[in-house]
Amino acid sequence: MVANFDKPDTDVGAVLTTVDGTPLKQALARAMRRARINAFLLVVPLLLFVVVTFAVPIGQMLYLSINNPVFSDHMPRVTAYLKAHPDVGVPGEDGFEALALDLADAKKNRTIGRIGTRVNYDRAGSTSLFKSGARKATKFKGPPYKEQFLSHRKDWSEPYLWNVMRRASQAHTLNFYAAALDFTHDAGGELVRVEPERRIYVMLYLRTFLLSALIAGLCLLLGFPVAHLLATLPLRHSNLLMIFVLLPFWTSLLVRTTSWISLLQSQGVLNDLLVAIGIVGDDGRVQMMYNQYGTIIAMTHILLPFMILPLYSVMKTIPPSYMRAARSLGATPITAFIKVYFPQTVPGIGAGTLLVFILAIGYYITPALVGGSSGELISNQIAFHMQKSLNWSLAAALGALLLFGVLGLFWLYDRLIGVDNMKFG
Amino acid sequence: MKTLRILASTVLAVGISLSAASAGAGEITVVSWGGAYGMSQVEAYYKPWMAKTGHKIKSVDAPNPATPIKAQVTAGNVSMDVADIEYSDAVRYCDEGLLETIDATQLPPAPDGTPAVEDFIEGALTDCAVANIVWSTIFAYDASKISGAKPTTMADFFDTKKFPGKRGLRKGAKPNLEMALMADGVPAGDVYKLLGTEDGVKRAFAKLDTIKKDIVWWEAGAQAPQLLADGEVAMTTAYNGRIFNAAAKENKPFVVVWDGQILDFDLYVIPKGAPNKALAFEFIKFATDTQRLADQAKYIAYGPARKSSAPLVGMYQDGKIKMAPHMPTAPENMKNALVNNFEFWADHDSELNERFNAWVVAN
């Protein structure tokens, strides 16, 4: 074959090709694809990071809140029995045989404590009942099992105990959500509210949302003028002011919280000052912390920069000439502010308020240190079940409800104001 | 439990596990309570052991060393070798299979040849744990702040009319409910029987109600003497050793009231799957021998868990204070004392703490 060197490249109707002869369209597509892959490869580390450290743990937490297989894993025979006999309250000999064999195994495998603890969530006194029952069960020579169990402790024929075991044997359960909303099951297995002196979570959710809203409001009230000042002052003054905003922002949360302790405590700086200038007597010192005030004051201060910074960046983009134009057209300063300036800051207000509110909902170190009992928030209970009672399923259910609450509010915000209308800077 | 793995390790990432990251050969990680107590262990156990064997100890402090054990063992990522934990936790974790078993017959005998199993005081050895100290929750006050009559009984602690001022209490059902009942006149022997009943629990909370508005909660052991030193509270419950140290070392005018004290053990355990199990047990053997337990009393007022250590307890490290009268187990301190009932707490821990939490946050 002889190459036709006479044929012009720009022959009408011919396909455009690159130097090496591939059609231009195809080459372009390939180049674009390569660029897209490159771009994707660049974000892969972040994507993996987010999936591993954020999406997976949250997914696992959500799963944990509806899945607690301790009982069904370690008491397989009783679980199978209860499944096969859905209507039986206190079982007969066959159920107790399953119980005896399971308990003996659990004793051998040293899992009896876990089972006892699981049942103990719903029925106090079960830990020792299961432990001593398992010790007994390893010594049973054979049937009749029911009789031997009852001679050990009468509790074994208690309908409520079997009720609790039935619920515990369901690995997938919504019971932890019920508990997280102050509901429990009565002796008949009906869902009822817990006694008034045990109700805690619903009240704490309400308190958490109300205090967070209050703190976001306070931050807005305090932060708006500061951000305005920062945005309008000449640069060399505003830079200095900005340092005052950023310095606390860069300081550790614990350091800031503990400095509030030394300021607010009843033998602290503020109270000493009040006593020194004679506003209060030495025995009338004001209780400013270990209560709700402590939580509100410390959290407002700690979260203030999260309000000021988005507000500042939005205000910075509002040309001063707008206000001047409004004034020259006859508006009073107040009208000009309300009609011209304020509407333009709304995206910043939305961003700042939402940021502060959502951060406040998850706070627990600050309320734990300065909040006393009336300043405690729902996250303190989550931490309690995570670290002390070790009831992780309940902790997960409490956390999941908090997450759903925040998502719900976010949805509401989107409907009312619109997320697009939000500017972080 | 693979599903829990990432969750648990994420939760712990900011906690103990990072600071106690993997210990190499010849190094063990020991988690304890910090403060004056942690210091006494460093002086009496860690330093002599390191000098004698050449191994290293990485000392980690936690508000409660039992807390990270479950998370670490469940997550299959155990970074600590030895933990110093309370009795009820030691028993519960042992039953849950979270701890290695310890063969107490391997522990060194007393100097006179008495085997360890007989030398340790009753209850100090369990399947998974070896006690090192007997400690106590007492209440204390600052003598310079209370003029006139001084508090002498648990009832005085709950009497804000006679002794006005704030009260510091550990945040948790244990041992406040016991103390409330004793202050209400219940003899030590009946406390747990009564607490097992609804009436008893109601009575305890009713007693706590009388001081509720004056309570300042503390959580870490070091906070209690701090609250007292700052004048934040007029009296506080505390671990007796912490108060002793503040008084002996920092010359604080703190006075311990022994009436209604609640005794407990602290025990050494090895979490299941500890990276240096064998070395960890070597350390426990060394730390809980007769001399070491007696030495610890030089630094803090906690009683040794071995009978043979008691006669060896001498002076405080300054050489001036005789330690014996400051031990929780001294006969004159034991007149009205309650021994913590771990079995009761294993059964009622979640129920009473739930109720306690609800009581705390209710206005």
pLDDT the model gives residue B23: 41
Between strands B235-239 and B167-170, the pairing is: parallel
Residues in A closer than 8 angstroms to B215, CB to CB, are 373
Determine the residue of chain A that is closest to B170 in CA distance: A372
Q: Which of B265, B327, B351, B214 is nearest to B87 (CA)?
A: B265
**Of the candidates A64, A116, A131, which has its C-beta nearest B7's C-beta?**
A64
Say whether residue B360 is in contact with chain A using an 8 A CB cutoff: yes
d(CA A301, CA A370): 13
Between strands B303-304 and B129-142, the pairing is: antiparallel
CB contact under 8 A, B166 and A52: no
d(CA A38, CA A40): 5
Calculate how close chain A gets to B10, using CA atoms only, in Å: 7
**Of the candidates B172, B219, B359, which has its C-beta nearest A197's C-beta?**
B359
Calculate how close chain B gets to A147, using CA atoms only, in Å: 24
Residues in B closer than 8 angstroms to A376, CB to CB, are 360-361
Calculate how close chain A gets to B52, using CA atoms only, in Å: 36
More confident residue, B329 or A75: A75
Determine the residue of chain A that is closest to B213 in CA distance: A373
Backbone angles phi, psi at A281, to 5 degrees: -80, 170
Name the token pair of B309: 């250590």
Name the token pair of B265: 């053990």
d(CA A113, CA A131): 7
CB contact under 8 A, A374 and B361: yes
Contact, B28 vs B82, CB < 8 A?
yes
CA distances from A84 to A95, A171, A374, B339 (A): 10, 15, 48, 46
Name the token pair of A249: 């922002």
CA distances from B200 to A404, A409, B190, B222 (A): 39, 43, 10, 31
Q: Which of A124, A128, A193 is nearest to A161 (CA)?
A: A124
Say whether residue B51 is in contact with chain A using an 8 A CB cutoff: no
Say whether residue B346 is in contact with chain A using an 8 A CB cutoff: yes
CB contact under 8 A, B10 and A381: no
Q: Which of B68, B105, B106 is nearest to B84 (CA)?
A: B68
More confident residue, A157 or A417: A157
More confident residue, A356 or A420: A356
Quickly tell me which residue has 């009761």 as its tokens: B344
Contact, A361 vs A402, CB < 8 A?
yes
- Collect all residues with Cβ–Cβ distance below 8 Å to B299 and sequence separation of at least 6: B36, B39, B40, B43, B44, B316, B317
CB contact under 8 A, B354 and A200: yes
Backbone angles phi, psi at B280, to 5 degrees: -60, -40
Calculate how close chain B gets to A325, using CA atoms only, in Å: 54
Q: Is the pLDDT of residue A287 over 70?
A: yes
Q: Which of A218, A303, A291, A292 is nearest to A253 (CA)?
A: A303
- Collect all residues with Cβ–Cβ distance below 8 Å to B77 and sequence separation of at least 6: B5, B8, B9, B12, B17
d(CA A56, CA A59): 5
Residues in B closer than 8 angstroms to A197, CB to CB, are 205, 355, 358-359, 362
- 3-state per-residue secondary structure call for A209-231: HHHHHHHHHHHHHHHHHHHHHHH
Say whether residue B355 is in contact with chain A using an 8 A CB cutoff: yes
d(CA B166, CA B212): 10
Q: Is the dihedral of CA A199, A205, A211, A214 positive or negative?
A: negative
pLDDT the model gives residue A419: 72
Q: Is the pLDDT of residue A278 over 90?
A: no
Q: What is the DSSP string of B145-213?
A: T--SSPP-SHHHHT-TTTS-S-EEEESSHHHHHHHHHHHTT--GGGHHHHHTSHHHHHHHHHHHHTTGG
**Mutual angle of helices A112-120 and B87-95, in 10-degree steps:** 110
Contact, A128 vs B346, CB < 8 A?
yes
CB contact under 8 A, A203 and B6: no
Calculate how close chain A gets to B356, using CA atoms only, in Å: 8
Q: What percent of chain A is modeled with pLDDT above 70?
A: 96
Calculate how close chain B gets to A124, using CA atoms only, in Å: 6
CA distances from B76 to B1, B102, B164 (A): 9, 20, 51
d(CA B25, CA B280): 12
Residues in B closer than 8 angstroms to A203, CB to CB, are 361-362
**Of the candidates B10, B216, B350, which has its C-beta nearest A391's C-beta?**
B350
- Partners of B237 in the β-ladder: B139
**Of the candidates A129, A199, A266, which has its C-beta nearest B232's C-beta?**
A266
Determine the residue of chain A that is closest to B220 in CA distance: A369
Contact, A301 vs A256, CB < 8 A?
yes
d(CA A56, CA A390): 21
Backbone angles phi, psi at B139, to 5 degrees: -120, 155
Contact, B354 vs A123, CB < 8 A?
no
Topology alike, domains B2-134+265-329 and B137-263+336-361: yes
pLDDT per residue as tens, chain B (363 positions) = 454 454 444 444 434 433 444 444 589 999 999 888 999 999 999 999 999 999 999 999 988 898 889 888 988 889 999 999 988 889 888 888 899 999 999 999 999 888 998 899 888 898 899 999 999 999 999 998 888 889 999 999 999 999 998 999 999 998 999 999 999 999 998 999 999 999 999 999 999 999 998 999 998 888 899 999 988 899 999 999 999 989 988 889 999 999 999 999 999 999 999 999 999 999 999 999 999 999 998 899 998 999 888 888 888 877 788 888 899 988 888 889 998 888 888 888 888 988 899 898 876
The angle subtended at Cα B308 by Cα B304 and Cα B313, nearest 5°, is 55
Burial grade of A62 (CB within 10 A; 0-12, 13-18, 19 or more): middle
In chain A, domain spans: 1-66, 70-173, 201-421
- Partners of B139 in the β-ladder: B237, B257
**Pairs of residues, one from chain A and one from chain B, whose beta carbons lie less than 8 Å apart:** 114
Q: Residue A107: what residue type?
A: K
Confidence bin at A334 (pLDDT 50/70/90): very high
Say whether residue B118 is in contact with chain A using an 8 A CB cutoff: no
pLDDT the model gives residue B291: 92
pLDDT the model gives residue A221: 96
Q: Is the pLDDT of residue A285 over 90?
A: no
- Collect all residues with Cβ–Cβ distance below 8 Å to B175 and sequence separation of at least 6: B137, B237, B262, B340
Half-sphere exposure (Cβ direction) of B358: Cα atoms closer than 13 Å: 19
Residues in A closer than 8 angstroms to B10, CB to CB, are 53, 57
- Collect all residues with Cβ–Cβ distance below 8 Å to A160 and sequence separation of at least 6: A123, A187
Contact, A401 vs A393, CB < 8 A?
no
Contact, B304 vs B44, CB < 8 A?
no
pLDDT tens for A178-194 read 999 999 888 777 889 98
Q: Is the pLDDT of residue A204 over 90?
A: yes
Confidence bin at A211 (pLDDT 50/70/90): very high
In chain B, domain spans: 2-134+265-329, 137-263+336-361
- How close are the terminal C-alpha atoms of chain B, in Å? 40
pLDDT tens for A113-158 read 889 889 988 888 888 889 888 888 888 888 888 888 888 888 898 8
Using a cut of 0.95, tell me whether the model's pTM lies above it.
no
pLDDT the model gives residue B168: 95
Half-sphere exposure (Cβ direction) of A183: Cα atoms closer than 13 Å: 13
Say whether residue B324 is in contact with chain A using an 8 A CB cutoff: no
CB contact under 8 A, A111 and B353: no
| Top-ranked range on mean pLDDT: pick from A214-223, A357-366, B328-337, B338-347 | A214-223
CB contact under 8 A, B6 and A266: no
Is the backbone peptide bond immediately before B175 cis, with ω within 30 degrees of 0?
yes
Say whether residue B105 is in contact with chain A using an 8 A CB cutoff: no
Contact, A28 vs A36, CB < 8 A?
no
**Of the candidates A64, A198, A374, which has its C-beta nearest B354's C-beta?**
A198
Say whether residue B153 is in contact with chain A using an 8 A CB cutoff: no
Residues in A closer than 8 angstroms to B361, CB to CB, are 200, 203-204, 373-374, 376
Q: Residue A75: what residue type?
A: M
Confidence bin at A402 (pLDDT 50/70/90): very high
- Substitution target from A200, A288, A295 for chain B, most B beta carbons within 10 A: A200
Name the token pair of B227: 């609250």
CATH number of this structure's domain A201-421: 1.10.3720.10
CATH second-level architecture of B137-263+336-361?
A: 3-Layer(aba) Sandwich (3.40)
**Of the candidates B166, B349, B357, which has its C-beta nearest A381's C-beta?**
B357
B2-134+265-329 maps to CATH 3.40.190.10? yes
Helices (H), chain B: 2-13, 16-19, 35-41, 47-53, 67-75, 87-95, 116-119, 154-157, 173-183, 191-195, 198-209, 223-229, 240-250, 277-287, 290-296, 342-361
Burial grade of A20 (CB within 10 A; 0-12, 13-18, 19 or more): exposed
